[in-house]
Amino acid sequence: MAQDYYSTLGIPKTASAEEIKRAYRKLAHQYHPDKGEKGDAEKFKEVSEAYQVLSDPSKRSQYDQFGSAYNGARGQGGGPQGFSGFDFSQSMGGFEDAFDIFSDIFGGGAQSRSSRRERGVDLEMELYLSFEEAVFGVEREIQIEKKDTCLKCQGSGAEPGTKISTCPKCHGAGQIRTSRRTIFGQMSQVSTCDVCEGSGKTAETPCSECAGSGTKRRLKKLQIKIPAGVEDGQRIRVSGEGEVGYRGSAAGDLYIRLHVKSHKFFKREGEHIYSEIPISFYQAALGTKVMTETVDGEVELKIPGGTQSGKVFRLKDRGAAILNGSGRGDHFVTVRVVTPTKLNKKEKDYFKKMAEDKGEAVDIDDSLWAKFTG
């Protein structure tokens, strides 16, 4: 589960910047992994993540708005512009409710992520949606083959019934600090423990199913909810549905790149949908009611007399759902007036008569016309 950053730091939501800093310093000092067995690498990580978000006013306000779903601290380098505020994510490696694993949308462009060695690998897949599915949202069952938690040892890496002990090399911290003397003085470096791969624990008898890794490759079905209003090329992050990490450490994320198929009649820009409708010369002149296709089905469109070709009519709220917002965009219909191409004798006489009444010259010799166009 995602942590509550305020309770992680033990401060109220109204805490000032100074209070946040003070709480962080105290806890960071308390849990620092350098303290060996007295430290707590996991707690230290949580505290640091909480501080990273709450100490940044823009990240903090996004977090306040979107609650524990906020994942900004993990998508490092993206900053607020990479984060569009769409994040339902709550499970980080939990598999309890696939409907709730939802996540955020990136307009595209890879996020540079901090690649900690113990964290599971991120996965990426492509998903094709129809025009309507993108407009209204859809639930899809997908299948991914990935490293998942080993069912025999539940990810611990130890044969069931055997002991798991604290890693002898890092004493449970998961990290090793190495120091060496240089001409500039003492230099130290922190790296992931190579014995326990950062888990802080070692199995005395490795699990026979997964050889101690705690992971097992298998096919997993996921129910994915694509929110209404997504667009072609966008990426969705399903938090915690990448590959699981070594011995039950945090899973990576699953990224789903969306491809929206184009529509026969409709075009889309953001939340608005555009189409054209042909009407006859007579309908344009006299006015009419036509049925025009929208994503909601046919809708009546009133066209007043004297409508010119190219005139745009707006059908309010017939567009796509607004992603991250409420309501829908509009559907814009452009009228194309179709000039009659084949007139019979009677129609020609009518038109000539009308033109003569207006004093307009129209009497074109058909054979002459054929020369021009032919």
Per CB under 5 A, residues contacting Zn ion are: 150, 152-153, 167, 169-170, 193, 195-196, 207, 209-210
- Judged by beta carbon, residue 9 or residue 170, the one nearer Zn ion is 170
CB of 170 to Zn ion, least distance (A): 3
- Judged by beta carbon, residue 104 or residue 148, the one nearer Zn ion is 148
- Judged by beta carbon, residue 153 or residue 224, the one nearer Zn ion is 153
- Judged by beta carbon, residue 229 or residue 248, the one nearer Zn ion is 248
CB of 180 to Zn ion, least distance (A): 20
CB of 119 to Zn ion, least distance (A): 16
CB of 254 to Zn ion, least distance (A): 22
- Judged by beta carbon, residue 169 or residue 257, the one nearer Zn ion is 169
Three-class HEC string of the chain = CCCCHHHHHCCCCCCCHHHHHHHHHHHHHHHCHHHHHHCCHHHHHHHHHHHHHHCCHHHHHHHHHHHHHCCCCCCCCCHHHHCCCCCCCCCCCCCCCHHHCCCCEECCCCCCCCCCCCCCCCEEEEEEECHHHHHHCEEEEEEEEEEEECCCCCCCCECCCCCEEECCCCCCCCEEEEEEEECCEEEEEEEECCCCCCCCEEECCECCCCCCCCEEEEEEEEEEEECCCCCCCCEEEECCCCCCCHHHCCCCCEEEEEEECCCCCCEEECCEEEEEEEEEHHHHHHCEEEEEEECCEEEEEEECCCCCCCCEEEECCCCCECCCCCCECCEEEEEEEECCCCCCHHHHHHHHHHHHHHCCCCCCCHHHHHHHHC
- Judged by beta carbon, residue 43 or residue 257, the one nearer Zn ion is 43
CB of 225 to Zn ion, least distance (A): 31
CB of 138 to Zn ion, least distance (A): 36
CB of 196 to Zn ion, least distance (A): 3
- Judged by beta carbon, residue 46 or residue 209, the one nearer Zn ion is 209
- If phi > 0 it is left, if psi is from -120 to 50 it is alpha, else beta; for residue 10 that is left
- Judged by beta carbon, residue 217 or residue 314, the one nearer Zn ion is 217
CB of 15 to Zn ion, least distance (A): 35
State the Cα–Cα distance between residues 273 and 266, nearest whole angstrom. 6
